[in-house]
Structure 1
């Protein structure tokens, strides 16, 4: 590694560390402020609700982070979630004795197929990610409507064992939270300590350089969209299990929440930058905002505006930190 690339790597790590500490500090200050306004905020029951409600968001954010790192975007995850949730819930409705693990595998498989199709369009046919995913979003929504006939699958049509996937707990910890923790541990190791994980960052940093160095950019691109699809499929099963309802418009627009959580967590839309540890902070802050604002009686009309402002501030702070460190490095080189 050259001295210049080594300095750039150190600078990037400094940016990420400063941003993560700033985000954690903001979360602490915000939590204290909300607690003063509503003493129920930091109770164990509310914290459990907060973590449970953000678990699905956090699972999807892991996949979206890898997609964005490779300079992509996936606007179809809400539709993929709805499709996998509908197919799985209809299967459970017809076969009540179906094992919950099989239901999860069905959802993941549907998501993998959906993600693999999108990855093929982006990697092999060079269709822009935003176009490919926007088109497939409508395709998946249409398929969901066709197979369901526009009807819902309601709670009474689902077995208790299926609904227990999300409502059950192990050692007092909700299953959703446990699944999210497992996903984060697996992908933390995958992204940081495997060769494929390093290739994902290399592709996002510079696709041309990655190709020159022998990395199969098309394969990596296909892989990240397939993983995103698999996680969306898993989330679809968890979603319909949690809410005991499957609809053709389930999670409509939810992809924007996921992208917002990634941006707040320090994932750069320009690609090549993002960490699982930072993502956790971003998801947690987004979850706190959704949980806390209603608790302190903020008008629903203002809640979206406040969330949007936080996203813009996160991006602005990141840009300012980059500029400051870039200026410092320039001065050192001149000296």
Structure 2
């Protein structure tokens, strides 16, 4: 209890206003992820950036889904007209069975409806199943423009390219598609309100030659980039590894467990990344017990809300530059309360 009280006090003791609030797949703690409703909810809550994960259709339209496999986030498995589209593909070394965005035209994809990916944890979100279509990147950009005009503030975009090397092997160059879209919108400059992120290396290096937009190397506690089989993320987070990342990216995006260890102490990653000239944007702070470290859980129900504020405060105390969250309204409230 003493530890928890101390961590909660950090919410008011650190400059939480310094952290960018990045809405993870929109306000995905309140609406099904990667829907226009989730993005708009996040913008209205005060998020600085909204994050669309980008996959692509057969006719080369960028759309927002958590993965290119569609069954977890749409009703495709219930659509008899698409039963014959089910197949298996090896993606980044893993065999995946299901329905894939790149096998559907945009017109076909638009007949599907989004659903909550975690209904057991977020039954409230499941009430919105069937209401929303899969949005295109163009529609997300149009929403951002409209909300900027309405609010008078800048709203950033934080897209992630999903499995670009796999898709390139399928004959689809999502790097080129994204660069073309951003140039059309004038969002390809170093001062544009955009970060482009990826777990792979070569796509980011290509992006660095094609756009001035800021780039983020995503990393994970396990494994390594799919396009660099001889490299681990752990190696990339050593001082020499971070220096290497800084040659092509502007920031590193670690799992928050790589920022603060299970003992509640900072790992030193933020300081090391800053020394290499990199910003640090951590993923992901969620309110439910299912996603919080043991010290921040309240009760035994995985779907119950835990000590979100304490978790946010502990991460903010590391000096991290930005945090992804499924609950931007909670994060914005903490940021307001921390201001003098």
TM-score, scaled to structure 2: 0.26
More helix by share: 1
**Structure number with bigger Rg:** 1
More strand by share: 2
